Structure 1
Amino acid sequence: MPIPTSHTAIATTSLRTLSAITVPTPIPSATEILIHVLWTASTPLDLHQNDSGLLVKYPHILGDGIAGTVVSIGENVQRVEVGDTVFGFSWLKQEGKAHQEFAVVEEWMVGVIPEGFSMQQAVTLPNNFVTVFHTLTADLGFETPWPKPENFVPQNEQDLILVWGGASSVGQYAIQILRYYGYGKIIAVASARHHEILRSYGATYTLDYNDTDIEAQIQTLGEVKFVMDCIGSATGSVLPISKVVKAGAKVAILLPVIVRDSGEDVQPVYGMDVENVDGVSWEEGVEVRGVRTHFYHHNEFFKEHLQPDIMPAMLKEGIVEPNKQKIIEGSTLLERAEKAMGALRRKEARGERLVWRVADE
């Protein structure tokens, strides 16, 4: 296809304001690829950045989940070819962000979509798939070898692992990946309507966060050794988790901590210090960490293999399955982006991803 010299991108240009801006279409360097971005999936980070200006310098192009077609490659690119359909988690620079018609990314930031999967399905994986692997290894210290050795048994096979927000995209992938590696005692906390599918993914126990005695229910199952908080709500998840974990437990909380949710007429409040959340007291000896997925590539093995090799293989082999999708419709790119942002504020996606078309093929 002809590659234009400029294209349209969706940026947050001031608090709670999205705009369609025109940006230059970059030329890939030796190790980069240029993607015609066709589909993306919205994330809570899009909402945090648009509604609070979190880590933003205006204008700031949004989106980090990409699915599209490779239209140009650098001279040293080895894994993909022009014409390949790829999916990936891209965040390093504005030219690589997902909510624009063309994005240039490093080759290691994408994988080729396996046959039999649509871009809409594939784009539900990258950011949260990467988040799971980074959290399990860097923050919780789990073993996730690839390829997995035959008869592999993890050291913490029988330790209780609490996944709070099991029906979230991160939670769903966490449960499936933990099951694959043989972690056998997973507590998934989610709304009751999601319990059946979470058990099919590998959850040993399913509990409803709406229950007033949720903390007591967790404690009856035994001592929780590891926690993955996929929600990061100060009162909704961090507080109850702090009441059930004891000295020696490891807790990983997805950042930012949500002190006050964004709403149609409500300004959000976020925090980045997981150890000092107002109203929350951690027992001495509990290790609490804030998850920083954007540093996952500091693990050299993950940088080279997590998105190019492991992610497509796990999808192809059925180790993980794509999240369900809620397709956002609209006549223009800006309209679709605005509708997706509104759906995030209203929490319309329950157990599914907000997926929408960026550019036409």
Structure 2
Amino acid sequence: MHAIVRHDDGSLSQQQVDRPTPGPTEVLIKNAAAGINPVDWKIRANGDAFGTFDAARPMILGWDVAGEVVEVGAGVTRFEVGDRVFGMPRFPRPAEAYAEYVVAGSREVARTPAALSDIEAGALPLAVLTAWQAVVDTLHIGEGDRLLVHAASGGVGHLAAQIAKARGAEVWGTASAKNHDALRDLGVDHLIDYRTERFEEIAVDMDAVLDLVGGSEHAERSVKSLRRGGRLVVVPGGDAIPPASMLDDAGVSATWILVEPDYASLEAVAAMIEAGSLRVVVGDTRPLDRLAELHEIGETGGPMGKLVATIG
């Protein structure tokens, strides 16, 4: 099969590699679309941050999968050949999603909503699971909560804002001014242009902040937006968590999360999509053999939403 392989110098190229075979409890997916995420280009540029890739195998990046089940392993009861599925297998272990065929655990993927194209489904998994696990499982956002989402126009941010809104929250978002109208259309209540405004002077007394930007200085500024008892989640990395003394003085808590495969959350997301309360924005697509271009676009800021490689 064709796959995109990462080389030692950080470059990407399309190569022929062996097609995988599903084992017990696994399915083989004919991949139609693979979303591109910041973790992909960070590992491409800097190497295996998680230490989970096998140096003896070609390094194939990618975790977003959307396509059709073409083979099922022993013990699989959730799917049959021909089912459309989407998911984020194995993260942070290699899923090798930049390829024509992908093996996934049957409980790492969910049925693709009929309302979604393969490209839209391929845009969702890692970003929407990050959003769900931050907003629902970690921040426990509910009716009347005031939430500030940083990078609200990004792949995770535009989904997190909608999930919070659907749960009854009042949502603030930071984004460049060019994306404000689109975010209002997705339901964001208050928008802050991070290029010209200090968010901590506008979004105050927040119940929660979801920081998708990262960096210690940005997280420390986010503490100033929180009320006493507020919660901060930083996604890009635990090294950005503000000092304990600052958190104690402000009376707030902070943590970071690393997204995990979770079919139940994907099914909850699918229900939202079918109900019309969640939309995914696809910013750009390129065929698999031009996937390196999507990395370049993402690294330079890119358009609102997600970047997706089409396959086949």
* TM-based fold match above 0.5: yes
Amino acid at match of 1:286: V
- Helix, strand or coil: the match of 1:169? coil
- 1:247-286 matched pairs, under 5 angstroms: 247-256=228-237, 272-275=238-241, 282=247, 284=249, 285-286=251-252
Q: Whole-Å Cα distance in 1 between the matches of residues 163 and 93 of structure 2?
A: 30
- Helix, strand or coil: the match of 1:61? coil
Tell me if the contact between 1:29 and 1:74 (Cα under 8 Å) persists in the aligned partners: yes
Q: Whole-Å Cα distance in 1 between the matches of residues 247 and 92 of structure 2?
A: 36
- Helix, strand or coil: the match of 2:239? coil
Q: Deviations over 1:293-346 (max 9, x none)?
A: 13xx5xxxxx45222x223222222121121331124xxx4x412111211222
- Helix, strand or coil: the match of 1:37? strand
Aligned to 2:50: 55
- Helix, strand or coil: the match of 1:226? strand
Q: How far off is 1:286 after superposition?
A: 2.5
Aligned to 1:133: 132
Aligned to 1:146: none
Q: Whole-Å Cα distance in 1 between the matches of residues 3 and 43 of structure 2?
A: 16
Provide structure 2 residue ranges, at least 5 long, that are not aligned to the other structure: none
**Change over 3 Å in CA distance of 1:79–1:338 after alignment to 2:** same
**Change over 3 Å in CA distance of 1:204–1:96 after alignment to 2:** same
- Given candidates 131, 134, 148, the residue that maps to 1:162 is 148
Q: Whole-Å Cα distance in 2 between the matches of residues 123 and 37 of structure 1?
A: 9
1:355 paired with 2:308, answer yes
1:209 paired with 2:194, answer yes
**Change over 3 Å in CA distance of 1:282–1:60 after alignment to 2:** farther
1:290 paired with 2:256, answer yes
Tell me if the contact between 2:24 and 2:76 (Cα under 8 Å) persists in the aligned partners: yes
Amino acid at match of 1:274: A
**Change over 3 Å in CA distance of 1:70–1:226 after alignment to 2:** same
Q: How far off is 1:292 after superposition?
A: 0.9
Aligned positions, number: 305
1:33 paired with 2:32, answer no
- Given candidates 158, 166, 169, the residue that maps to 1:180 is 166
Q: Whole-Å Cα distance in 2 between the matches of residues 224 and 182 of structure 1?
A: 15
Q: How far off is 1:122 after superposition?
A: 1.6
Q: How far off is 1:206 after superposition?
A: 1.4
**Change over 3 Å in CA distance of 1:304–1:165 after alignment to 2:** closer
Q: Whole-Å Cα distance in 2 between the matches of residues 212 and 133 of structure 1?
A: 28
Aligned to 1:306: 265
Aligned to 1:193: 178
**Change over 3 Å in CA distance of 1:74–1:213 after alignment to 2:** closer
Q: Whole-Å Cα distance in 2 between the matches of residues 283 and 196 of structure 1?
A: 37
Q: Deviations over 1:40-72 (max 9, x none)?
A: 111100111011122254443211111112110
Q: Whole-Å Cα distance in 1 between the matches of residues 123 and 144 of structure 2?
A: 30
Tell me if the contact between 1:253 and 1:291 (Cα under 8 Å) persists in the aligned partners: yes
Amino acid at match of 2:258: R
- 1:25-174 matched pairs, under 5 angstroms: 25-53=19-47, 54-56=49-51, 57=53, 58=55, 59-92=58-91, 96-142=95-141, 154=142, 157-174=143-160
- Helix, strand or coil: the match of 1:68? strand
Aligned to 1:240: 221
Q: Whole-Å Cα distance in 1 between the matches of residues 276 and 101 of structure 2?
A: 30
- Helix, strand or coil: the match of 1:24? coil
Aligned to 1:149: none
Q: How far off is 1:198 after superposition?
A: 2.0
**Change over 3 Å in CA distance of 1:93–1:119 after alignment to 2:** same
Aligned to 1:341: 295
Amino acid at match of 2:234: I
Amino acid at match of 1:310: A
Tell me if the contact between 1:66 and 1:89 (Cα under 8 Å) persists in the aligned partners: yes
Q: Whole-Å Cα distance in 1 between the matches of residues 46 and 177 of structure 2?
A: 31
**Change over 3 Å in CA distance of 1:171–1:41 after alignment to 2:** same
1:324 paired with 2:257, answer no
Superposition RMSD on alpha carbons, in Å?
A: 2.5
- Helix, strand or coil: the match of 1:248? strand
Aligned to 1:268: none
**Change over 3 Å in CA distance of 1:93–1:125 after alignment to 2:** closer
- Helix, strand or coil: the match of 1:293? coil
Provide structure 1 residue ranges, at least 5 long, that are not aligned to the other structure: 1-6, 143-153, 257-271, 298-302
Give percent identity, aligned residues only: 26
